[in-house]
Amino acid sequence: MLDNRGKSEYDNPFGRFDLNTFESVQEQPYNEFDVSSVSSYVDARVNDVWKTRIEFGHSENREKTFDKLSDERSVFNTYRDSLNWQNDLTLNERNSLILGGDWYEDRVNSSTAFDEDSRWNRAAFIQHRFQADTFSTELGLRRDQNQQFGGQNSWSGTITVPLNPNNDVLLTYSEGFRAPTFNDLYYPDFSNPDLKPETSKSYELQWRSQLTDSSRLEASLYRTDLEDAIIFGSNSRPENVASARINGFEAALKQELFGWQSNLGVAIIDPRDRETGHTLARRARRTLSLDLDRQFDRLGLGASWQAVSSSYDDLNNQQPLGGYALLGLRSSWALNREIKLELKVDNLLDKGYSRALYSHEGSQYGYREEGRAWMFGVTWTPQAQ
């Protein structure tokens, strides 16, 4: 169960268009939001061969927008109900199957009327796993049927070859299907009702190595080809890029040092519009991150640092966005086996940075991201009696 609610105030240098005077008037907008979700599941082992799981979910994203200087008010609420059923079948020592289906329905309730206010997506999937003496394979197929965008098959396959007890090499191929969300299609002033679904094909070569008892390295090279890629451009509206590709390298080193668990990650990508050769908007080409965590009996301490390189806010690569680095701290305290208190601070140094731009009177300005933010949480995990 999750419930996150709050109030946000923001600047609007453009003002509000008054339908009575046909002029732009001053505005001081703010919104009140509530994001919540609840889910439940049932696990059952039917017999020695068959294990099944059914999961139910409901989520809501509700937002009301107001103006301190007028009676202007708008509402934009989205809802999703979901159901997932997965079955794990052990056929023999070498073969197993995963099969099932999922369904979700999206609904929108807004002060703006839309031609479509609900839609469903149904899917069925199957995956076969085979374990030989010198290699293993996975082969999968997923069929999506979307009420608004029709049907799509997505294949996937992986072959894993152990080089020795500590090193594995994996070759993977996968296909993807991404339907635009209701927010992508209809969110007031920041949407595009003409969006098409995004499809992709990915190829990956991965190496996994257990270097020592306390250190592990994973590295991968990949390429993703996208058709009708959904990209947010300089006007903050999503749009389709007819053909794009992303070449990338990622590596992660996990190391235990003096009782601390560390995770060092690096990502280098080259995301391109294949027709123009330009870098895709709002895609940083280099990212470096470091996580440190340690448990002292009931007390947990951790820190995260991330550095992100510069990018472009527009598809023509004329509006650069600066890079940034962020530091965060976290801690937790276990009151007992069921209740844990958590305290977290993001952007500890109160770094000012932007991940998008807007234009006003011929000049470009950055949307200011959240500064130093404190969060307190309580986690309750009921124990089986």
Q: Dump pLDDT digits (tens) for 279-318.
A: 999 999 999 999 999 999 999 999 999 999 999 998 889 9
Q: Dump pLDDT digits (tens) for 227-267.
A: 999 988 666 788 889 999 999 999 999 999 889 999 999 99
Long-range pairs for 22-28 at CB < 8 Å and ≥24 separation? Answer: 25/69, 25/70, 26/69, 27/67, 27/69, 27/70, 27/72, 28/67, 28/68, 28/69
237 contact partners, CB below 8 Å, separation of at least 6: 190, 191, 192
**Average per-residue pLDDT in the chain?**
91
Residue 85 has pLDDT above 90, yes or no: yes
> pLDDT value at position 8?
82
Q: Dump pLDDT digits (tens) for 132-151.
A: 999 999 999 999 999 989 99
Residue 13 has pLDDT above 70, yes or no: no
- The predicted model gives 78-91 an average pLDDT of 96
Q: Please give the Cα distance from 200 to 222 (Å, whole number).
A: 13
Residue 382 has pLDDT above 90, yes or no: no
Domain ranges of the chain: 38-380
- The predicted model gives 30-38 an average pLDDT of 90
CATH superfamily of the domain spanning 38-380: TonB-dependent receptor, beta-barrel domain (2.40.170.20)
Q: What is the DSSP letter of 322?
A: -
> pLDDT value at position 17?
65
Quick one: what percent of the chain has pLDDT higher than 90?
Answer: 69
Residue 28 has pLDDT above 90, yes or no: no
Residue 41 has pLDDT above 80, yes or no: yes
How do 373-380 and 320-321 pair as beta strands?
unpaired
Q: Which tokens hold the place of 108?
A: 């929108």
336 contact partners, CB below 8 Å, separation of at least 6: none
Q: Dump pLDDT digits (tens) for 315-345.
A: 889 999 999 999 999 999 999 989 999 999 9
Q: Dump pLDDT digits (tens) for 161-172.
A: 999 999 999 999
Q: Give the confidence band of 52 by pLDDT, cuts at 50, 70, 90.
A: very high
Better pLDDT: 374 or 234: 374
Residue 21 has pLDDT above 80, yes or no: no
> pLDDT value at position 14?
67
Q: Please give the Cα distance from 243 to 363 (Å, whole number).
A: 30
